[in-house]
Amino acid sequence: MKKLLSAGLFVAALPLAALALQDEPASKPVTYTIDPVHSSITFHVKHMGAAFAAGRFDSLTGELVFDEGDAGGCSVDAHVDPASVSTANADRDKHLRSGDFFAVEEHPDMRFVSTSVESKGDGTYAMKGTLSYRGVEKEIACTFEKVGEATSRDRRRVLGFTTEFVVKRSDFGDVYGVAQRILGDDVHVRVDIEAGEKR
């Protein structure tokens, strides 16, 4: 009799357990801090209509929110210090920091804030957002990919992402050398991010 009673209680509890599982979220948004040491932003632009000249920024910071099960819950807020530009040439870097290009004294921060994220499957996401550069805000779109994850020494989850996109300098009032074809208008950008779970 006890066995029959126990079995009956177990069967009766099954629907309740199923409802509890349905109500429990499959995932939740988690905030991650961009690791500036293990993240990078590089770029290249056509010079004289011939070869590409390359450079990088040594300061990339910010936070992102990632939800494995709901792309709509994902977001990015990233900052680049334009004064950290480096092209392996001191004179060129000084020129790039001037008003002809990044105008770092007037505009010390380049910022990207996402406005929408949509999953495309297989760890790939379509993202739109606002890029602020030289005091101008423009919407840009890109596709980013989650490329891996790990656990840090202090047991925090670490995620890796990569994306590539093209920005037109003239959209932001950066037109030095464009008409003369000294430098191209299109800047090809690659961003690689490693971000650790925020605590």
Q: For residue range 31-89, what is the model confidence (pLDDT) as tens digits?
A: 999 999 999 999 999 999 999 999 999 999 999 999 989 999 999 999 999 999 999 99
Residue 38 confidence (pLDDT): 97
What tokens does 164 get?
A: 């590539």
% of the chain at pLDDT higher than 90: 85
Residues 141, 165 contacting (CB under 8 angstroms):
yes
Looking at residues 110-121, what average pLDDT do you find?
A: 97
% of the chain at pLDDT higher than 70: 87
Burial class (CB in 10 A: 0-12, 13-18, 19+), 80: buried
Residue 26 confidence (pLDDT): 56
- For the ranges 3-12, 31-40, 119-128, the lowest mean pLDDT is seen at 3-12
Looking at residues 177-181, what average pLDDT do you find?
A: 94
The answer for residues whose C-beta is within 8 angstroms of residue 180's C-beta and 6 or more apart is none
Residues 113, 74 contacting (CB under 8 angstroms):
no
Is the pLDDT confidence value at 136 over 60? yes
Provide the 10 A C-beta neighbour count for residue 156: 14
Among 58, 50, 103, 52, residue whose Cα is nearest residue 84: 58
